[in-house]
Amino acid sequence: MADTDAIPVEAVVDLLRAASAEQEVDVDALLAETDLPELAAARVGHELRRLRSTSDRWRRRGQELAALFSSARELAQLRDVDELLGRLVERAHDLVGTDVTYLSEFDADSQELRVRTTLGTVAPSFLGLRVPPGMGLASQVVEGRRPSWTSRYTTMTQVPHDSAIDAAVAAEGLVSLLGVPLLAGDEVIGVLFAANRVEHAFSPDEVSLLSAFADHAAIVLQTARLLARTQESADETRRAYGELARHVEAMERASEVHSDLTSLVLQGGEAPDVATALGRALRCDVELLDTGRLDPSLADAVDRSRRSGRCASAGDGSYAVAVLAGPALLGALLLTQGELEFGPVELRTAERAAQITALLKLKQDAMIEAEQRVRGDLLADMLSDDADRRAGLATRARARGIRLDELRSAVVVSVPAERRREAVRALRRNGGPVGEHADRVVALTADPDPGVAGARVHATVSRAVRVPVLAVGAGFAEAAGDLRGQVEAASACVRILPSLGLSDTAVTVDEYLPYTALFGPGEARVATYVRRVLGPVLDWDAEHAGKLLPTLAAYLAHRMSPVATARVLHLHKNTVLQRLERAAELLGADWQEPDRLFRITVAVRLVQLTKGP
């Protein structure tokens, strides 16, 4: 090189520093200071700018790689898949610098892609967008397992377009798109997209950078998914183990209860002991309920248990189980949850305990029934007209713990024959003499008010038999004196109530005194009276299948109006008048005179009541 082309060392150092500097340096100014010929200065300037461009590219590449590895380290620390997807898109967005970045998840079963996470989007419809198989740029990435891009999406012809996808892209205003696959081995798990709202030709560096990030992200995402599945499997295993341990523990408790209950039966235990043993084993409060005294919510739970034979929820974590002997309800167990949660084994244990309770109660009831049978015999003797059977009643009653001088009311109960035994069993808890008498159930109580006595007996029997119940109370002064008469009067009242339209109620004898007077002892006289007053009419109806008596009853009940009578009987007025003329012929012309009419009216009513519904 000629001396004129020599460059001072300091100038060379400045030029090299300018080529490697991070900030822009005026190379021409530096060359002007060297006094190089113009051609030589141009050559040196060109090489310096090329060197600087290369340096800038490698510096930028180094920064991108540093950011890439930094993002990879950050993503590797995440375990929640949803959080990881969001952070992945956020880091890709910062790294590439496009307007919009989003990730579509690939479903291997349906071969669909679904937009899972986005950043930079404005259209709400874009998130969740589904890409059918073979459609759009995304499907091209999946099928080719390599990056694909377009500088103008609307003019892309390499793959078919889908109208729904085109509409979503247009709504978001996207023009240029770059998609790179997320690969786990040969498996595509998703596609990462970078998009701009302007036309843009993606450079190889941009494609390479996003692909490298996608490779790291795919590994991290697949690892997170595997860890999540492993965690789920571990959690499921722990849950299964916990459930197994709880089941074994429950079975051990059930075995303990079974052993305790067996001992109770063999050692002559009683029903309340079952509740104690069950509560101790299940670590909860257990109460043996008397079904005669339940609030509505408990009564409903017991009724549901009675129908199903299983435990029924009573609210607030409590369960009721009916104690049954066939169709008969003997009581119920109420379990209030304690430190243990009730599961199928615990409830089944309670149901078995209810069966043992029923056995013990039946045994206890058998003993009580033997005692009550004696008391029933005592009641029969009290109501007998045999003086010998009534002898020594007070002494025999005291031997059974009954003081006859304390009894003040008798209640006669009418229930179907197949339910009388159940009604007697329910009333035995009251303590007084109870038994069957003349196809009725009779109970003696210490209530001084027969109305109160009747209401209590009616409620007790109704809960036990669950059918309509008629109960008539009658007060008496002395059990050995007027008891029989009051029971007969109450029985007569029970017999006549259905004719008055009453089938499920509690009344007293005094409330229906006129009827009990007519239909009590000496009822044969009533039949004689009816025969004497209405005999000709009754005979006519019997011989001619006539309707004189019903017509006469309707006539008297409707103020002796032929028009009203015809209306209620659905007859013509002339037909009614003809029947009344026939009745007048049979009863006599004076049958509508006040005294005769009163006696005829009473007789007609008596016939209606004795026939009944």
Asked if residue 26 has pLDDT above 70, the reply is: no
Rg (CA), the chain: 52
Q: What is the mean pLDDT of residues 409-419?
A: 92
Helix (H) or strand (E) holding 194: strand 187-196
DSSP conformation letters of 407-435: --EEEEEE--GGGHHHHHHHHGGG-S-EE
The number of angstroms, rounded, from the C-alpha of 598 to the middle of its chain's C-alpha atoms is 64
pLDDT for 1 equals 42
The Cα 510–Cα 516 span in angstroms is 9
The Cα 278–Cα 297 span in angstroms is 23
Model pLDDT for residues 540-555, shown as the tens digit of each residue: 988 988 789 999 999 9
Instruction: Pick the more confident residue, 405 or 242.
Output: 405
pLDDT band at 574 (very low <50, low <70, confident <90, very high): very high
Asked if residue 67 has pLDDT above 80, the reply is: no
pLDDT for 81 equals 59
Instruction: Pick the more confident residue, 277 or 394.
Output: 277
Model pLDDT for residues 464-488, shown as the tens digit of each residue: 888 999 999 999 877 656 788 888 8
pLDDT band at 501 (very low <50, low <70, confident <90, very high): confident
Phi, psi of 409 (to 5 degrees): -135, 145
pLDDT band at 17 (very low <50, low <70, confident <90, very high): low
pLDDT band at 382 (very low <50, low <70, confident <90, very high): confident
Asked if residue 68 has pLDDT above 60, the reply is: no
What predicted TM-score, i.e. pTM, was given to this entire model?
Answer: 0.39
Q: What is the number of residues in the chain?
A: 613
pLDDT for 578 equals 92
Closest CA to 379 of 365, 406, 401, 397: 397
Ranges 44-48, 133-137, 149-153: which has the least confidence: 44-48
pLDDT for 438 equals 84
Instruction: Pick the more confident residue, 328 or 391.
Output: 328
pLDDT for 524 equals 63
Instruction: Reduce the DSSP state of residue 440 to 3 states and report it.
Output: strand
Question: Two tokens at 457?
Answer: 């007996």
**Residue 216 DSSP code:** H
The Cα 549–Cα 279 span in angstroms is 68
Closest CA to 113 of 134, 85, 88: 134
Contacts of 183 (CB under 8 A, 6+ apart): 145, 189, 214, 215, 218
Structural contact between residues 143 and 189, judged by C-beta atoms closer than 8 angstroms: no
Where does 187-327 have alpha helices with state H?
204-266, 271-282, 296-308
Q: What is the mean pLDDT of residues 124-131?
A: 87
pLDDT for 468 equals 93
pLDDT band at 79 (very low <50, low <70, confident <90, very high): low
**Residue 342 DSSP code:** P
Average pLDDT, the chain: 80
Percentage of residues of the chain with pLDDT beyond 90: 18
Asked if residue 140 has pLDDT above 70, the reply is: yes
To the nearest 5 percent, what fractions of the chain are helix, strand and coil? 60, 15, 25
The Cα 154–Cα 141 span in angstroms is 17
Question: Two tokens at 238?
Answer: 């722990």
The Cα 106–Cα 184 span in angstroms is 12
Model pLDDT for residues 224-272, shown as the tens digit of each residue: 667 667 777 777 777 777 776 666 666 666 666 666 676 666 666 777 8
pLDDT band at 74 (very low <50, low <70, confident <90, very high): low
The Cα 399–Cα 405 span in angstroms is 14
pLDDT for 71 equals 52
pLDDT for 572 equals 93
Phi, psi of 459 (to 5 degrees): -65, -45
**Residue 341 DSSP code:** P
Phi, psi of 561 (to 5 degrees): -105, 115
pLDDT for 185 equals 78
pLDDT band at 412 (very low <50, low <70, confident <90, very high): very high
The Cα 507–Cα 450 span in angstroms is 9
Ranges 16-25, 44-53, 256-265, 416-425: which has the least confidence: 16-25
pLDDT for 391 equals 72
Helix (H) or strand (E) holding 383: helix 344-383
Asked if residue 302 has pLDDT above 80, the reply is: yes
Instruction: Reduce the DSSP state of residue 81 to 3 states and report it.
Output: helix
The Cα 460–Cα 458 span in angstroms is 6
Please state, as a whole number, how many other Cβ atoms lie within 10 Å of the Cβ of residue 167: 13
pLDDT band at 351 (very low <50, low <70, confident <90, very high): confident
The Cα 128–Cα 438 span in angstroms is 83
Question: Two tokens at 165?
Answer: 């996808």
Question: Two tokens at 414?
Answer: 């009418």
pLDDT for 10 equals 61
Where does 131-203 have alpha helices with state H?
136-144, 163-172
Q: How far apart are the first and last CA of the chain?
A: 143
Model pLDDT for residues 163-221, shown as the tens digit of each residue: 889 999 999 999 999 999 988 877 888 898 999 999 999 888 888 888 877 887 777 77
pLDDT for 613 equals 45
The Cα 555–Cα 547 span in angstroms is 12
Helices and strands per DSSP (H, E), number in the chain:
21, 15
Residue position matching structure tokens 């530096």:
30
pLDDT band at 454 (very low <50, low <70, confident <90, very high): very high
Q: What is the mean pLDDT of residues 566-593?
A: 91
Q: What is the mean pLDDT of residues 449-474?
A: 92
Instruction: Pick the more confident residue, 294 or 140.
Output: 140
pLDDT for 451 equals 93
Structural contact between residues 553 and 601, judged by C-beta atoms closer than 8 angstroms: no
Structural contact between residues 240 and 206, judged by C-beta atoms closer than 8 angstroms: no
Structure-derived torsion over alpha carbons of residues 194, 196, 201, 207, reported in degrees to the nearest 10: -10
DSSP conformation letters of 49-62: HHHHHHHHHHHHHH
